[in-house]
Amino acid sequence: MAIVEKERDGRIGEIILNRIEKRNALNLEMISDMITIFRELTSDEGVRIISFRSSGPDFSVGADINELFHMNREDAVIFRGKMRELTSLIHDSDKITSFFLSGFSLGGGFEISQWGDFRIAGMDAKIGQPEINIGVNAGAGGNSMFPWLIGYSNALYLSLTGKIIDAQRALQLGMIQEVVKNRVEYREILLDMTEKSHGLIDDIKKSMRSVGEKGLMKSFDMEEEIFIKAVPSDESKMLMEKFLRK
């Protein structure tokens, strides 16, 4: 069974994370598969919404630490490049992009969702950016997009403490837009959006996306430099090894 799957539900195209035995820990293969499927759904004119979800209880626990632990600088450049390719596709898409965050939605998994148009969480969701605990910074936009979404102080506090918070607290902070009981309720929200004017949605997205965009992408460049420097460092390897021994 594929670690990332594609489904079509009417006008909704779904990208389904399916590395369940690893709680959808993101590795290079998984990210590459998401890119491929996203491109396929983008080229499908019948798809109005591209939705990301998990086939299991957890959306994603973030980057695969076993893979990060064995990375050198060149590996980190490749990994980060793929992350940037995926997040850029999501951010620049003319289609509505949505994420259903269930269970643990952490680190790189949560960061990818930040580039979508909105995030809806299940009542069981636990959300956060705990990368500081393994000696690295955000790998997919959490130093640049996160403060753009919820403000500098809130984003910095969560990033420096590594706190993992529940769905209701995430809603209060603006990390997500709604909390639903289950995926059925999530689907109903998406179905309602498919009935809206496609042309108007496209114009609204372009207008809103232009606000502060240049500053955001400069920050993303800086975040990339920090990630590539941090991942292969001795301090990060020590913290990763400590985490993996738990």
Question: Domains, the chain, ranges and CATH?
Answer: 4-182 (3.90.226.10)
Question: For the chain, what percent of residues have pLDDT higher than 90?
Answer: 72
pLDDT at 47 over 80: yes
pLDDT at 30 over 70: yes
| 20 vs 201, more confident | 20
CB 178 within 8 A of CB 120: yes
Cα separation, 226 vs 212, whole angstroms: 22
Average pLDDT over residues 38-51: 97
Query: What does DSSP assign to residue 44?
Result: -
| 246 vs 94, more confident | 94
pLDDT at 216 over 80: no
pLDDT at 139: 75
Count CB-CB contacts under 10 A for residue 195: 8
Average pLDDT over residues 107-126: 96
pLDDT at 104: 98
Cα separation, 17 vs 58, whole angstroms: 9
> Which of these ranges, 157-161, 199-203, 241-245, has the smallest mean pLDDT?
199-203
Handedness of CA 217, 221, 227, 230 (dihedral sign): negative
Question: For the chain, what percent of residues have pLDDT higher than 70?
Answer: 98
pTM value? 0.88
Q: Is 41 left (phi over 0), alpha (psi -120 to 50) or beta?
A: alpha
The two tokens of residue 184 are 């059925």
Cα separation, 140 vs 115, whole angstroms: 9
Cα separation, 146 vs 150, whole angstroms: 6
Reported as half-sphere exposure (CB side, CA atoms, 13 A), residue 79 has a value of: 26
CB 89 within 8 A of CB 38: yes
Residues contacting residue 46 through CB under 8 Å, at least 6 positions apart: 11
Cα separation, 70 vs 28, whole angstroms: 13
Cα separation, 219 vs 228, whole angstroms: 15
pLDDT at 224: 80
The two tokens of residue 154 are 């809130």
Helix 73-92 to helix 28-42 angle, to the nearest 10 degrees? 20
Tens of pLDDT, residues 218-245 = 777 877 888 888 888 888 888 888 888 8
pLDDT at 142: 80
Tens of pLDDT, residues 73-110 = 999 999 999 999 999 999 989 899 999 999 999 999 99
